[in-house]
Amino acid sequence: MIQGGAISWLEGARQAPSAHNTQPWRFRELEDGRIAVSWQPERALPASDPTRRDLYLSLGTAIESAVLGAATAHITLTFGTGPSNVEDLPANVEHEQIVGYLQPVQAEVSEEDLLLARSLHTRHTARVPHLPQPVPASTLKGMQEEAQQRGSMLYVLTERHAIRKLAKLARQATAEQFADPAIQEELWHWLRLDPHDPAYRRDGLNAECMNLQGFSLAVARFAMSPVRMRWLSHVGLHHLLALETEWTVRHSTSLCLLTTPSLARQDVIQAGRTLLRLWLMADQAGLTTHPVSALIDSQSTVVPTLAVFGTQGAMPAAIFRLGATQPVARSHRLPREELVLEASRASEQEIGRDAQSKEKSG
C-alpha cells in the first residue's frame, strides 16, 4: 500500500487520455506494495484498434500519469513487468490483461516531473482549427529531445503543402472508417450525443468535447448511427462527412508523428508514456494536441503518410496536430473508485456494469 500518496497516483492516472475516452485501465494494490496495471476487455476497441496499438498507448499514458501524480506527493513510482503470480490477479482479470506493475522506490522526485504534473488536469484534446500562431521552435526542440531520450522519434511538419497532403489523406482514411460497419458500430457505442445519456459525463466522446453544437450536432445525431451511416456510405455521402476532418487537419499549425521501436506491447506502452509527456509539455507551452489516428490506422494511408513525413521505414505510434486553439471542453472521467479493482468488489462492479449495459442495449 502506498502511504499518503494513495489519492495522488490514482488521481493522476484518472486524468490520462485514451482513444475514444474509453479509460480502459484498472489498478489493484497488492500486499507487497506494488500496483498491478490491467485493462478491461469491454473497453478495448477491437474493430478500430485490432493491433491494440491505441490500447497500449492509452495504458502507457495512464502509467505515466500515475507516476507524475505520485510525484506530487513526493513518491517515486517505477513501472516494470514482473515478477507476477496468480494471486496478483484481480477478480475477472485474465493474466494477459495485466501489463505490468507500478512500484514505489526510494528515489528523489525530479523537478521536471513536478513541473509536468501541473498540466495533468489542464491538458486536453482540441478538435478545432489552430489559431494563426507558430509553435515556438524551442517547444518543438524540447519535445523532440524528450521523445529521443525515451526511445522514440518525433517528426514535425509545419510546411503548408505537406499539411494539405495530410489533410487529404485524413479525409480518405476517415471516409474508409465511416464505410466500415464494425468500426462505425464501435464509434457509435462510444459517442455520447445526448446529454441525458447516463454515460454522458463518465466516458466516451460527448458532444461538447467533440465541439458539436447546433447544426453540426444535429447532423452528427442524424448521420452517425450505424444504420444511417451504412446507407450514406452505400450512396457515397460518407465522403462529405469526412470533409470536416480534412478541413480541421488543413487548419493545423503543425502535425507530429511519434514512432515506436516496435509494436511489441512494452514498446507501445513506453511510447504511450512518452506521448503523455509530450502532450503535457505542449500544454505548458499553451498549446493543445489532437490525434488523427485514422491516418496510421488505415492500410491505404499509412504508407503515404510516412512518406509525407519522409520516414518511410519508421513504425508509427501516434500522429497528432499541435497548435494554439481557443479554449475547448475537456472530456469527462470515470469516478476514481471504479478504477481500483479489489478481489471481491471487482466482481460486484462487473455484475453492476453488465446489468447496466444490458439495460442500455435493451
Ligand X SMILES: Cc1cc2nc3c(=O)[nH]c(=O)nc-3n(C[C@H](O)[C@H](O)[C@H](O)COP(=O)(O)O)c2cc1C
Q: Which residues bind to ligand X, rule: CB under 6 A?
A: 17-21, 54, 57-58, 61, 124-125, 127, 205, 290-294, 318, 330-331
Instruction: Give min distance, CB of 280 to ligand X, in A.
Output: 11
Instruction: Give min distance, CB of 342 to ligand X, in A.
Output: 26
C-alpha cell at 256: 507530429
CB atoms within 10 A of CB 255: 26
Instruction: Give min distance, CB of 116 to ligand X, in A.
Output: 15
**Residue positions counted in the chain:** 362
**3 state DSSP class of 156:** strand
Say which residue the cell 455520447 belongs to. Answer: 192
Q: Is the peptide bond before 83 cis (omega within 30 degrees of 0)?
A: yes
Start-to-end Cα distance in the chain:
41
Distance of CA 143 to the CA centre of its chain: 18
Instruction: Give min distance, CB of 19 to ligand X, in A.
Output: 4
Between 72 and 293, CB nearer to ligand X: 293
Instruction: Give min distance, CB of 4 to ligand X, in A.
Output: 27
Between 128 and 237, CB nearer to ligand X: 128
C-alpha cell at 116: 509536468
Bridge pairing between strands 154-157 and 254-259: antiparallel
Question: Rounded to whole angstroms, how far apart are CA atoms 174 and 185?
Answer: 14
Between 119 and 139, CB nearer to ligand X: 119
Say which residue the cell 522506490 belongs to. Answer: 105
Between 266 and 347, CB nearer to ligand X: 266
Residue 362 vs residues 234, 349, 354, 357, 359: alpha-carbon distances, Å: 28, 20, 12, 8, 5
Percentages (nearest 5) of helix, strand, coil residues in the chain: 50, 15, 35
Closest chain position to ligand X (CB): 17
Between 47 and 91, CB nearer to ligand X: 47
Between 60 and 104, CB nearer to ligand X: 60
Between 301 and 331, CB nearer to ligand X: 331
Instruction: Give min distance, CB of 49 to ligand X, in A.
Output: 8
Between 28 and 124, CB nearer to ligand X: 124
Instruction: Give min distance, CB of 3 to ligand X, in A.
Output: 29
Question: DSSP string spanning 24-70?
Answer: -EEEEE-TTS-EEEEE-GGGS-TTT-TT-HHHHHHHHHHHHHHHHHH
Between 90 and 204, CB nearer to ligand X: 204
Query: Residue 21's closest CA among 167, 147, 127, 175?
Result: 127
Instruction: Give min distance, CB of 262 to ligand X, in A.
Output: 17
Question: Rounded to whole angstroms, how far apart are CA atoms 32 and 244?
Answer: 51
Instruction: Give min distance, CB of 337 to ligand X, in A.
Output: 20
